[in-house]
Structure 1
Amino acid sequence: MTSSTSNKTLGVAAIGYAFMGKAHSNAWRNVASFFDVPAFEQKVLVGRDPVQVAEAAAKYGWSESATDWRTVLQRGDIHIVDICAPGWMHAEIAIAALEAGKHVLVEKPLANTLAEAEAMTAAAQAARAKGVQSMVGFNYRRVPALTLARELIAEGRLGTIRHVRASYLQDWLSNAESPMTWRLRKETAGSGALGDIASHAIDQIQHLTGQRVMEVTGSLRTFVAERQGPDGPEEVTVDDAVWATLGMSGEISASVEASRVATGRKNSLKLEIYGSKGALLFDLENLNELGFLDATAPMREQGFRRILVNEPEHPYMGAWWPQGHVIGWEHTFTHQIRDFLAAIDAGTPPSPSFEEGLAIQRVLDAVEESASNKSTIQTVR
């Protein structure tokens, strides 16, 4: 496979058509309408139920549907594989796709276990040497306000970063009567709030600050130990909530909290970043806004000011609507596809790479080990 794809229409296959499959399909369907990207075609949507996947393919803009991802990987007209399936399927599909010479985008977290993540990363490294690219879908990196936050930090506007607080709170499991799902079984989900949403918070801490998590002290809690399954009550084998303190590679003090039983919080990823010259505030439930305090201004003028991130000068925003017309959660996936296609076209490794996904997986693994042993665990080995 050549490093440039400018003269070839890329065939795309997506695996999975539920929540993430719908979000990714929406991005594939719309990205070329707003961004200049290499030519591609939504070839095939893959899922286990032939009737449901066919209906989803027609609704989401795919040319056809299929139920066997292995057969799809053998097709010469498929160049990109977008894996939106549950975590327990990530490793097998991604490794097979990379070995078949397909570019791979896989939803976060990279895998359900550290061993799977390591195997996927090794496959990605081998494929990259042949011009085959891979990326992990931490879509919140593509929130324009968070991209702006990273730019401000890199420009030194906050001075020396001292303290970061990250929380990701949802309430969709706060009702004890909510039924059992695959996300509450360790064998299919890997972990609960830890991998599902704390992984986003941990990725943001590392991505925004440019520092790595070196050690963690963590705690996990399952508040509802049993939920109704299709055949009766089932044990919940993952966490409902997680807390962790993070030792960073610099001198930053960082903390993470995540919960899927935080009553009243729908999808609140909050970030507070405090430096010697300023501070930033962000909440995903107000994703077009960034709070910024300039501590170098006279004390009588200091205070957090609201930046409405929708000017053409702001990251990604020039492709969308006139000033004052905000964008939403779904646009982060469109930005993600845009950046992934641009990297494939340029023949350059996109970010976050599988190596970056593996680094997150090591932190998740360390939090679980710390919670189990009630100890502090090193993440760099």
Structure 2
Amino acid sequence: MTRTSLRVAMIGHAFMGNAHSQAWRTAPRFFDLPLRPEMAVLVGRDADRAAEAADRLGWAESSADWRAVIARDDVDLVDICTPGDTHAEIAIAALRAGKHVLCEKPLANTVAEAEQMTAVADEARAHGVRAMVGFTYRRVPAIGLARRLVEEGRIGEVRHVRAQYLQDWIADPEAPLSWRLDKAKAGSGALGDIGAHVIDLTQYITGDRIAEVSGRLETFVKERPYATSHSGLSGTASTERGPVTVDDAASFLATFGSGAMGVFEATRFATGRKNAIRIEINGSLGSLAFDFEDMNVLEYFDARDDAEVNGFRRILATEPGHPYVAAWWPPGHGLGYEHGFTHQVVDLVEAIAAGADPAPSFADGLQVQRVLAAVETSSHTRTWQEIPQS
């Protein structure tokens, strides 16, 4: 059967660009998609580097001019994998040009930018143009199963939410400066970079939204050596030093709309933790627990079991009935980090083909942005902050 093409332009080709490229290559080979994604053009700031990345990652051509690419009639969707300071300009231009948009998280660097992006997305939606923000951890099968169990009432009324995102890649005070440590480019540090993920995940799993927060941010290392070259996330160091203008760690208390209590932590100083996303939800009838470092497993406690046999049940979320898994391997053959990006492509393409709204929407990204801003304000003022609800 001949399928209509969905021609994709991706802007940015570093860490996230690599992950997104793998997803665009893989999704149509494992999932029966209603549209045929075509990796049309990759855009980067440097023409030579963009050309090399396009050849390596499987894009048909490359460009150093994102505005010219967005103006092309043969581009249907723009995938934004750039630092946060460019999200708003690129996304708004793409939507106004009639292109569907996938934008990496956090949606923007400020609430004002996110509000403008959401307003333009709403206008574009009236013309059949769709926009989605890339919170890919939603697409981990064990996370999808957790959401399903909460929806089914398996753990009853949610009372406690605990969430951590722990990394250690800048624990060394001599790790060099990168754009992720520059507030002008990144918006915030651990709070926005990784804290945004657990904010979204807990709201997604519980089906509830954070209503108020009380938080604290800390920058443990105030200056770092400038990077002299770009390798991985941080590059190599020079002898000159510059200021770190974002937080190294964030922690906050939260109250959800239902009254459930939340405790959140995001840090890039948890020595020994590389990418530990830990979430536990306690309800009146049971509990759920997840750790991304064992990402194919969901732990489930049913408080209604007999005391003699009661305990957390280890569920290996690799059965065909678990979210997304049927398209992959036999039970017990686990999935990895990259599969969340593939599932993101699947959900977006299916929504576009159906004329439906993909999730998470720009409005969802805006709500997370408001939580991030409220935590930052709370840290400065030492007060509880309410989250405006749209």
Q: Which category of TM-score, normalised to the shorter sequence, fits these structures?
A: over 0.9
Instruction: Please list, as runs of the form range in 1=range in 2, the aligned pairs for 1:1-381 lying within 5 A after superposition.
Output: 8-37=4-33, 38-230=35-227, 232-380=240-388
Q: Which runs of 4+ in 1 moved over 6 A?
A: none
1:76-95: CA deviation from partner (whole Å, max 9, x where unpaired): 11000000011000000000
> 2-side partners of 1:196 and 1:85: how far apart?
13
Q: What fraction of aligned residue pairs are identical, expressed as a percent? A: 56
Q: CA RMSD in A?
A: 0.9
Q: Which amino acid aligns with 2:357?
A: P
> 2-side partners of 1:155 and 1:378: how far apart?
29
> 2-side partners of 1:277 and 1:40: how far apart?
44
Q: Which amino acid aligns with 1:366?
A: A
Give yes or no for contact 2:84–2:108 (8 Å, CA) kept in 1: yes
Give yes or no for contact 2:6–2:38 (8 Å, CA) kept in 1: yes
Give yes or no for contact 2:30–2:327 (8 Å, CA) kept in 1: yes
> 2-side partners of 1:98 and 1:378: how far apart?
31
What is the deviation of 1:205? Answer: 1.3
What is the deviation of 1:40? Answer: 2.1
What is the deviation of 1:7? Answer: 5.3
Q: Which amino acid aligns with 1:175?
A: D
1:87-128: CA deviation from partner (whole Å, max 9, x where unpaired): 000000000000000000000000001110011000000000
Q: TM-score, normalised by structure 1?
A: 0.97
SS of the residue 2:109 aligns to:
coil
> 2-side partners of 1:93 and 1:87: how far apart?
10
What is the deviation of 1:198? Answer: 0.4
Partner of 1:3: none
What is the deviation of 1:36? Answer: 1.1
What is the deviation of 1:8? Answer: 2.6
Aligned pair count reads 376
Q: Which amino acid aligns with 1:369?
A: T
Q: Which amino acid aligns with 2:360?
A: P
What is the deviation of 1:39? Answer: 1.2
SS of the residue 1:205 aligns to:
helix
1:153-194: CA deviation from partner (whole Å, max 9, x where unpaired): 000000111101000000001011100000001000000000
SS of the residue 1:330 aligns to:
helix
* Structure 2 alignment gaps of length 5 or more: 228-237
> 2-side partners of 1:174 and 1:252: how far apart?
33
1:292-324: CA deviation from partner (whole Å, max 9, x where unpaired): 111111111110111111111111000001112
> 1-side partners of 2:161 and 2:332: how far apart?
30
> 1-side partners of 2:3 and 2:286: how far apart?
47
> 2-side partners of 1:155 and 1:8: how far apart?
37
> 1-side partners of 2:309 and 2:156: how far apart?
18
Give yes or no for contact 2:24–2:37 (8 Å, CA) kept in 1: no
What is the deviation of 1:204? Answer: 1.0
Q: Which amino acid aligns with 2:256?
A: M
Q: Which amino acid aligns with 1:346?
A: A
> 2-side partners of 1:319 and 1:11: how far apart?
23
> 2-side partners of 1:226 and 1:108: how far apart?
26
